[in-house]
Amino acid sequence: MLFDASLDGRLESGSLAGTTLGMSARYYFRQSPRRVFFMDLSTLAGQNLDADQQILLGGDSGLRGYPLRYQAGEGRWLFTAEQRFFTNWYPFQLFNVGAAVFYDMGSTWGRDPLGTPSQGLLRDVGFGLRLGNSRSALGNVLHIDVAYPLDGDSSINNVQFLIETRKTF
């Protein structure tokens, strides 16, 4: 189990400005040499945020079944449960192949700077392919995910496709 906390901001005229407080807890349970169950619970809260600061929730911040920057507010929380699978497949000795099945849920709170009303609790399910780059000094992992939103308004697609690189599986 891993815990993380961060505080970022500044003190102006005796009060906090542009300040964010973040906390997260991660749990990894190795079920076998090729399977890991992963859970993550994180929260981020802002205080006197600047006009260029937003606390967002969507496909780019861990809620994979929703468009990028789908919700905004003064804070957010996010929970992820993921079953990870690792293979011995090593095509052309260029990358390691893995897969994941996941469930995400989260919400924002507080005022959205653009005035969009909160949609409440948002949830999604999905699956993805992981390609670990073994020939790069960066060692990034390519995530190719297909996610299905379970909530939200009718303006979003029933399926979201995400392709991104991360430093972890």
Query: How many CB atoms are located within 10 Å of the residue 80 CB?
Result: 19
Model confidence pLDDT, tens digit, residues 17-33:
999 999 999 999 999 99
Distance of CA 89 to the CA centre of its chain: 27
CATH of the domain at 51: 2.40.160.50
Model confidence pLDDT, tens digit, residues 81-140:
999 999 998 888 788 999 999 999 999 999 887 777 788 899 999 999 999 887 776 768
Token pair 């079920």 is at which residue?
31
Residue numbers of the domain that contains 24: 2-166
The pLDDT of residue 54 is 87
Number of domains, the chain: 1
Provide the whole-model pTM: 0.90
